[in-house]
Amino acid sequence: MDDKERSQFVDDLLEASLSRYSSVTPRSGLEGRVLANAKAAQERRTWFLWAGWLAAGAIATLIFIGIFTMSHRSTIPAPPKTVEAVKPGVMPDLRAGTAAVPPMQQTHAPRRPQVKRSAEVTLVARTEMRLPVFPSPAAITNEEMLLVQYIHVPPAGVLSAPVVESANIPEIQIKELEIPPLAEETADSTNEQ
Amino acid sequence: MVVGEPLSLSEAFPLAKDTADEFEAVVRDHSRVVYRIAYSVLRNHHDAEDATQETFIRCLRWWKRLDPGRDRRAWLARTAWRLALDRRPKHREVSLDDAAQAVSTLRAGGAPVDEIAAHQQMEALLERLIATLPRELREPLMLSTVEDMTSPEIANVLGIPDGSVRTRLMRARQVLKEKLAVILAGKNPT
């Protein structure tokens, strides 16, 4: 085979191969499948559009409710503790023995309904907390008050048993210490000399 | 998916009837060339049809923004080309020696050129040779193999001048011919 014939064969083979390269026929019904797919995609898109609008509306409603609630919410803290419970006159005299224990002091002010307060009221409430004494005396808690009451007015039978037992114990007899003289040691030392 | 009975978009589409009819006409006119462009890249019927579907869905999505005065066929060709390039698989490996041996055997047996070109080994060999071309030569050559694609249309798809398309096509065919001659002569061009 000469070069010219070989070159011609390569030319023909390349042309034939390239002409076949993309000369394909799609499966029948391509247009119908494309249209059906486009229809389904359009329906999906419409559904997502509606769902998106609904979701946006719900989010906007929630944001509005949140802003409305925050704007109508009281920013004043709870009322401060009263300092009347720590006044010296109110404290019971612990040295009085059977002194009557005053009723429990309420250290926490009852919670009041939330109402709008002005800033001026807040300042007044805070100044009540500052006493001239440092450190500021703390109010006695309920537990501390119960402990004081227990010590001064113990329940019956708690302290009576140790008192009865102590009555039966005989009195301790203490004799003087007698130390006998060391007679033998004295005689031995005399002999050695 | 509905395949059998013909579907009219205007029946169920939330589009204006004239728009649905127009889109339906576009699909019927250009679906085959879109499919072939996708196939020239993907070399697979299933993938080519997927790319075709995606091309027309995008066309429908952008329908209102597409200028009716512009060439919709060019827009479809460009979109199909880009979608196919995005989905392009790796080329299958083929032994050059085996392909050359098969072609030589067919030629020695007196087989016509068309029969040799239709052989599976020859198709795989050509696919591999095209894949080895540089991108500037490969893309115009692949689009030129699509039926009904003219040189100006190829230039529109690739965004290059028409004269460049012709020059690159000539150069690509020359390179392919040289490589094919070397392979058939029993030498490995690589």
Q: Report, in this order, helix, strand and coil percent for chain A, each rounded to 5.
A: 60, 0, 40
Q: Is the ipTM of this complex over 0.90?
A: no
Query: Between A and B, how many CB-CB pairs are < 8 A?
Result: 132
Task: Report the C-alpha gap between B45 and B39 in whole angstroms.
Answer: 7
SS (H, E, C) A98-160: CCCCCCCCCCCCCCCCCCCCCHHHHHHHHHHHCCCCCCCCCCCCHHHHHHHHHHHCCCCCCCH
Q: Is B108 on the interface with A (CB under 8 A)?
A: no
DSSP A86: G
The residue of chain B nearest to residue A36, with distances taken between CA atoms, is: B2
| Residue B106 distance to chain A (closest CA, Å) | 12
List chain A residues with CB under 8 Å of B145. 18-19, 21-23
Interacting residues of B140 by C-beta distance below 8 A, sequence separation 6+: B154, B158, B165, B168, B169, B172
Best of A42, A43, A45 to substitute, by most chain B Cβ atoms within 10 angstroms, is: A42
| B47 pLDDT more than 50 | yes
Residues B112-169 have pLDDT tens digits of 877 887 877 788 888 888 888 999 999 999 999 887 788 999 999 999 999 999 999 9
List chain A residues with CB under 8 Å of B9. 35, 38-39
pLDDT tens track, chain A, 193 positions: 577 888 888 888 888 888 887 778 888 888 899 888 888 888 887 888 888 999 999 999 999 999 998 888 755 556 665 555 545 554 555 555 554 555 555 556 566 666 555 555 554 445 555 566 676 677 888 898 899 888 888 776 666 666 666 667 777 888 888 888 887 655 555 565 5
List chain B residues with CB under 8 Å of A43. 12
Would the CB atoms of A42 and B173 count as touching at under 8 Å?
Answer: no
Nearest to A12 among B12, B48, B113 (CB): B113
Task: Report the C-alpha gap between A70 and A84 in whole angstroms.
Answer: 35
Q: pTM of the entire structure?
A: 0.56
List chain A residues with CB under 8 Å of B6. 32
